[in-house]
Amino acid sequence: MAIRFIEASKLPTPWGMFKMYGFADDAADKEHVVLTMGDISGDQPLLARVHSECLTGDALFSLRCDCGPQLQAAMHKIALEGRGAIFYLRQEGRGIGLLNKIRAYHLQDCGADTVEANERLGFGADMRDYSILKPMLEHLQVKSLKLMTNNPRKVKALEEMGVVVAERISHQTGRNPHNARYLETKRGKLGHLFAEHDEPDND
From residue 121, how far is each of 21, 80, 182, 197, 200 by CA, in Å?
34, 41, 18, 34, 26
Closest C-alpha among 179, 171, 173 to residue 62: 179
Round to whole Å and give the CA distance between 22 and 33: 5
Residue 198 annotated among the catalytic residues of the structure: no
Active-site residue (options: 25, 58, 66, 126)? 126
Residue 113 annotated among the catalytic residues of the structure: no
Q: What is the largest CA-CA distance in the chain?
A: 50
From residue 57, how far is each of 51, 98, 129, 144 by CA, in Å?
12, 12, 20, 28
Asked if 84 and 78 touch (Cβ cutoff 8 Å), the reply is yes
Active-site residue (options: 128, 129, 181, 187)? 128
| Torsion angle defined by CA atoms of residues 184, 188, 193 and 196, in that order, rounded to the nearest 10 degrees | 60
Round to whole Å and give the CA distance between 40 and 36: 7
Give first-to-last CA distance, the chain, whole Å: 43
Asked if 39 and 26 touch (Cβ cutoff 8 Å), the reply is no
Asked if 58 and 64 touch (Cβ cutoff 8 Å), the reply is no
Residues marked as catalytic: 126, 128
